[in-house]
Structure 1
Amino acid sequence: MESPIKLLDDKTDPATKQILENVVKRKRKFELYKKRHTATIWVTISIVSLFFLYLYFTIASNYSYSFAAMFSAFVNDTNNLTFLAATVGMYGYMNLLKGKKEKAEKEFHDLRCEIVDRSKDLWRKEDAWKNRHLVFEMMKKNYDINLYHEKK
Structure 2
Amino acid sequence: MDALKEWKLPQQSKVTIVLLQELVERKNSEKQYKAKSQTYGYLLAFILVTMGGLVWYELENSTSFFISELSIRSLPIMLVISSVITYFQLRKFSKKSKKAEDEFESLRLEIIDRSDELFKDQHQWESRHDVFNYLKEAYDINLYYK
Q: After TM superposition, is the score higher than 0.5?
A: yes
The corresponding residue for 2:60 is 61
Could you tell me how far apart the structure 2 residues matched to 1:6 and 1:104 are?
A: 24
Return 5+ residue gaps in structure 2 as ranges: none
The answer to whether residue 82 in structure 2 is matched with residue 81 in structure 1 is no
- Cα offset, 1:7, TM superposition: 2.8
**In the alignment, which residue of structure 2 is the partner of 1:139?**
135
Q: What is the identity percentage for the equivalent residue pairs of Structure 1 and Structure 2?
A: 27
Amino acid at match of 1:70: F
Q: In the alignment, what sits opposite 1:13?
A: 13
Is structure 2 residue 104 aligned with structure 1 residue 108?
A: yes
Q: What is the TM-score of this pair, normalised by structure 2?
A: 0.88
Query: What count of residue pairs does the alignment treat as equivalent?
Result: 144
Which amino acid letter does the alignment assign opposite residue 52 of structure 1? G
Unaligned runs of 5+ in 1: none
Q: Which moves more between the two structures, 98-107 or 122-131?
A: 122-131
Q: CA deviation at 1:73?
A: 5.3
User: Equivalent residue for 1:70?
Assistant: 65
TM-score of the two chains, using structure 1 as the length reference:
0.85
- Distance in 1 between the 2:126 and 2:4 partners? 22
Structure 1 position 63, deviation (Å): 3.8
What amino acid is the match of 2:15? A
Letter in 2 for 1:78: S
Structure 2 Cα separation of the partners of residues 139 and 128 of structure 1: 16
